[in-house]
Amino acid sequence: MSAISDGQMVLTFDNTLEVKEAPPTVYPEIVFDFDKIFSEPLTEENMRNNNSLAILGESLSVLKKMKDNSVQLIFADAPYNIGKDFGNNSDKWESVQAYIEWCKTWIDECMRVLSDTGSMYFMTATQHMPYLDVYVSEKYNVLCRIIWTYDSSGVQSKRIFGSLYEPILMINKNKKASYVFNYDDILVEAKTGATRKLIDYRKKIPQQYSTKKIPGNVWDFSRVRFKMDEYENHPTQKPEALLERIVKTSSNPGDVILDPFSGSFTTSAVASRLRRVSIGIDLNEEYYEIGLRRTGIATERNGKNLEKIKVRKTNAKSKYVRGE
Ligand SMILES: C[S@@+](CC[C@H](N)C(=O)[O-])C[C@H]1O[C@@H](n2cnc3c(N)ncnc32)[C@H](O)[C@@H]1O
């Protein structure tokens, strides 16, 4: 039986010391009032629970209804203009110029709704990112240029080196703005130094290399495969591990995270698991329904059971692989 407790150590009546694990951090139940960040009511279909809001709609028109400085983190994985099949909407613009102009409009709207201390990560195809990099470098502040790399044993080009990475730009409003960077929450195993039992002589008192380090800007995460539990019926689903790193780094529990091109709602699913508040938007009804299930908002919609039935991504190749 315990007599004295200081949280970690307990002195028992038979005078032995029990070391107790620190109690887990208990966060208060999140109940977020989504209406407070909209300046006008949503006309789009939407469903919500205490910490997730899923919207079936066009992202620019939804963004326009959101107040300035209302979200802490944005992850935007827009269509890449490479001809992917997203069901009822096309991933093809008249010209690269038209695509870039469209991207600039949603980037500006996102930066308006982003909090002054927030960060936005966005993705596009490797060939389009340079145009957007120049645009945001001049207007906002680029914090980091990240490469998401992966291996692939699928169809490979025999004429050029295969494209095995996608760029991610991490930006904030301006150079002087402070931003969240929870590096302690994303430490990875250090591959050199510690494993080779080297001594770090750069320290005042030489000591062994640390076994953990803050990841660099090249992120190696496997793409989502059919056999993985997290697989959803979406052609460009991003891995949960990728979103987990972004959410942990750039937000705290209770913060609001927005994904204006949610697809299979990976961002919202990860945000809920990590006790953040999420807003997800997608045009496609089937993807919206995936979102309702993945966030735990609903298990059925209009009498349809939203249970997961996996279908292989047979029609998901870009025009480069299809050779068009
Ligand atoms: C690259 S995917 C996003 C994939 C997502 N990150 C995931 O992990 O599943 C882009 C998504 O944007 C949606 N979309 C395209 N144009 C849109 C628009 N104007 N408004 C809202 N969603 C749009 C498509 O339906 C598609 O699901």
Q: For 170-224, what is each residue's pLDDT tens digit?
A: 999 999 999 999 999 999 998 777 777 788 888 888 888 888 999 999 999 999 9
The number of distinct structural domains making up the chain is: 1
Residue 96 belongs to a domain: yes
CA distances from 90 to 58, 78, 93, 115, 191 (A): 13, 12, 8, 31, 42
Ligand 1 pocket, residue 62 CB under 6 Å: no
Q: What is the mean pLDDT of the chain?
A: 89
Alpha carbon of 251 to ligand 1 centroid (Å):
22
Ligand 1 pocket, residue 59 CB under 6 Å: yes
Ligand 1 pocket, residue 276 CB under 6 Å: no
Chain-centre distance for alpha carbon 226: 20
Residue 151 belongs to a domain: yes
Structural domain that includes position 156: 29-183+215-322
pLDDT at 67 exceeding the cut of 80: yes
pTM: predicted TM-score of the whole model, two decimal places: 0.88
Measured by CA distance, the residue closest to atom 3 of ligand 1 is 263
* DSSP states of 226-270: TTSTT--S-TTPPPHHHHHHHHHHH--TT-EEEETT-TTTHHHHH
Residue 199 belongs to a domain: no
Instruction: Give the C-alpha separation, 253 to 273, whole Å.
Output: 10
Q: Which of 104, 121, 231, 261 to mutate to test the pocket of ligand 1 (most atoms within 8 A of CB)?
A: 261
Residue 276 belongs to a domain: yes
Residue 20 belongs to a domain: no
Q: What is the CATH number of the domain that holds 97?
A: 3.40.50.150
Residue 180 phi/psi, 5-degree rounding, is -80, 130
Alpha carbon of 184 to ligand 1 centroid (Å):
31
Residue 63 belongs to a domain: yes
Q: Which burial class, exposed, middle or buried, applies to 29 when counting CB atoms under 10 A from its CB (0-12, 13-18, 19+)?
A: exposed
Instruction: Give the C-alpha separation, 217 to 23, whole Å.
Output: 34
pLDDT at site 156: 77
